[in-house]
Structure formats: C-alpha cells, structure tokens
Structure 1
Amino acid sequence: MKPTRFETAIAIIDQKNAEDTTTYQVADIAYPKELLYSQRMTRKLLQFEPNASKALQVAARAQHICRWKIARNEYPMDRVGYLKWREELKKMHAKITGEILEQVGFDNQFVERVQKIILKKLLKKNEEAQALEDTICLVFLDYYFEEFAAKHTDEKVIDILKKTWIKMSKKGHKAALTLPFSDKSLALVKKAIS
C-alpha cells in the first residue's frame, strides 16, 4: 500500500532531523537530538490531544526541524539575542516544513495552516497553536526539566517554570501536574505556580 501524503511528510521530516549530529543518550543509546525530540513531540501531542488534526501533528513533528542549522551563538548571548534567535528558528522551521508539504502535494491552505501553527501566530486565540505550545511545555517538563534543573540555581529554575506556566492553557496546566516529577522538582513547580 502506498504511503499517504501525511506519512510521507512525517518520514521526510524524520529524515531531515536524523541528520542532526548532536546526539542525546537514552538508556545507553545515542539518538540524533532533534529526531528524538520530534518523536517525543508527537507522542506527547497524541497523549494530550488524541484527536489532533493532521496539520497540528505535522507542526508538532516539525517544530524543531533542522534546528542545529542556526546556532545560538550566532546571536548576542542576552535575552534580546535569544528572542531574535528563536524568531529566526521559527521562520526557518515553517519554511522547511512548507517546502516538504508542497513537495508531497498538500495544497496552499494546508501548508499555510501548518506554518501558522509552527510560527505560533495568535497564541491563546489559535487553538492549534496553543495546543502546540502546551505540548512543547509538556515535553520540556516531562523529558528535559530534571536535567535542566540540575544545572541551574533554584531561582533560575523557578523563573523558567513561571515563564513556561504563563504560556500554557488550563488544560496544559492540568496535564503538567500529572507528570512524574521528583520530590525536589515537584516542590520547585509548586513554588513557581503558587
């Protein structure tokens, strides 16, 4: 049976993310960092939003596509530089994803919808962009938070948690509080949201 356009698009996104030379270890296996991240995004999205549209599923899978191509150190190492870097990344992710979708035969309307989700336009008003933001936050909290918290002061961790919490919906908050945090991390989360 011939794969669908959706399956082909996901396969191409995975192919591109598999080119990431930075690896991430899980159970002594080294994965291309962005490939692992994108698969975690899909898994978390479908747990959080089981009826997610194909557009939202593509956006989640491609949310960090080829992220390594724009290095953080190409921008000033301050808040303004960080935000500019993030903005350039979003544009690149949307552009690459749009090209893939056009290549496999999706129409302009679908392509634009996916790009809007990736660019997170009208967050809080665009339900799919908000679901993507919630998923990003949940993936961070579930898979990367403990490691992040171990490298930073409690003050910095609480600040990041507060910023993360603000971006999330009530549904996202509820899902976050069901994650398996360590006692120390749960205490930090509670402190941040109180």
Structure 2
Amino acid sequence: MTPFETALQRIDAAHAADPRQTTSSTTNTPTPYELHYAQKMSSYLARLSPDAPETLQLAIRAQHLRRWEIPRSSYPTTKIGYHSWRAELQRRQAALAEQICVESGYSTEEAARVSALVRKAELKSGDPDTQTLEDVACLVFLDDQLDRFEGELGDEAKMVDILRKSWAKMSERGREEALRIQMSDRGRTLVGMALQG
C-alpha cells in the first residue's frame, strides 16, 4: 500500500474504535460515530476540492481522531473550560495524526503539515487548505449535527450566535455549498435568523 492508503487505513481503524454508534444514512447500518463523521468530512472535501493534496485529505479525515477519549465533561462547564477542552483536543489529535503519517511512510515535513492543518494553525494567515478544512467542518456541522446540538443547547439565541460565527469563518465557496444542504425546517429557520443579523 502507498503511505496515503496506509495512513488512511490507520486513521479509520482508530475511528472504528469509537464506542458511540450512529446509523449511517447511506447504508442504514450502525457505524462508529467518529468513522461516520470522518466519512462525512471526506465527502464534503471531495465536493469543495476534488484535487486536494494528500496532506489535506488526511487532516480532514483525522479531524476528530480518538476524540471520544477526552469527553467535554472532563473539563469545567465554563467558557474557559470549553476552550481548554477544544485546545487539548486539537493538540492531541494533531499529534496522533502526525505520528500515524510518519509511521505510514510520510516525511517529517509532510507529517508536520498534516498536524498543522488538524490544529488549523494557519487559518488566520489565509492558508487556503486550512480554510477548506474550516469550510468542511462547518458544512458537516450544518448537515449532521445542527439539530442534535440545538436540542442539547436549548437556547435559541445562543444557537443563532453560534451559526452566525460559523458563517463568518466560512469562505464564499463554503457558504454556497452550505445553502445547498437539505436541512430540517428548524435548522433552515435558525440559519435564516443567523444570516439576517
């Protein structure tokens, strides 16, 4: 196998260990949640950037690598706690992805690039691959997580604010794709409210 095939296989094997299950909309069978999420991420990348470099493809696939091992409940339920949890997840997921890439035959430079993309280290500098990754993450949130997240949050104003911030992070290409997503009526209403503000 090529380094890319080996790395992808190892990333997916890690995702497959997720004890949480969801029902795949394509196969209608139980699937480990993070494997389902990773497949959605790759699917949206193929729409936005079909010729994406291998480093971006791997970073997209590794976004939530072994995420379930550090639950949100392990940090305080405060804004600082949330940001600390997110920072630790990004650091750990990036390190795991980098290790997998090196062990799969990639150079240290290529593996470091995957790590930087997972961390979204160059988002503010305008790096196009990092922006694509951000777009894809936002699209998967809108497509696959919006309704559940809103139900858990239970606060319409906060949900609209989150959507407004997500929209601001996206490129025009990402926004165009977002408007094509088949959302629930409630999801479409919330997005509409966010875009009006």
Give the aligned partner of residue 73 of structure 2.
73
Equivalent position SS for 1:129? helix
Equivalents in 1 of 2:57, 2:147: separation in Å? 26
Q: Percent identity?
A: 38
**Mean Cα displacement is larger for which, 160-169 or 58-67?**
160-169
Give the aligned partner of residue 137 of structure 1.
138
Instruction: Specify the code of the residue in structure 1 equivalent to 2:161.
Output: D
Q: 1:13 aligns with which of 4, 11, 14?
A: 11
Aligned residue runs from structure 1 range 119-134, under 5 A? 119-124=119-124, 125-134=126-135
Equivalents in 1 of 2:29, 2:75: separation in Å? 32
- 1:148 CA displacement: 2.5
**Mean Cα displacement is larger for which, 24-33 or 72-81?**
24-33
How many residues align? The count is 192
What is the TM-score normalised by the length of structure 1?
Answer: 0.93
Q: 1:26 aligns with which of 8, 17, 24?
A: 24
Give the aligned partner of residue 86 of structure 2.
86
Instruction: Specify the code of the residue in structure 1 equivalent to 2:118.
Output: I
Post-superposition, which runs of at least 4 consecutive aligned residues in structure 1 deviate over 3 A?
Answer: none
Kindly provide the CA deviation profile for residues 46-87 of structure 1, in whole angstroms up to 9, marking residues without a partner as x. Answer: 112111111000000001010011121221111110111000
Equivalent position SS for 2:18? coil
The question of whether the paired residues in 1 share the 8 Å contact of 2:24 and 2:36 is answered with: no
Instruction: Specify the code of the residue in structure 1 equivalent to 2:135.
Output: D
What is the TM-score normalised by the length of structure 2?
Answer: 0.92
**Mean Cα displacement is larger for which, 99-108 or 68-77?**
68-77
Equivalents in 2 of 1:86, 1:134: separation in Å? 18
Give the aligned partner of residue 184 of structure 1.
186
Structure 1 alignment gaps of length 5 or more: none
Equivalent position SS for 2:161? helix
Structure 2 alignment gaps of length 5 or more: none
Give the aligned partner of residue 177 of structure 2.
175
Instruction: Specify the code of the residue in structure 1 equivalent to 2:131.
Output: Q
Equivalents in 1 of 2:97, 2:151: separation in Å? 34
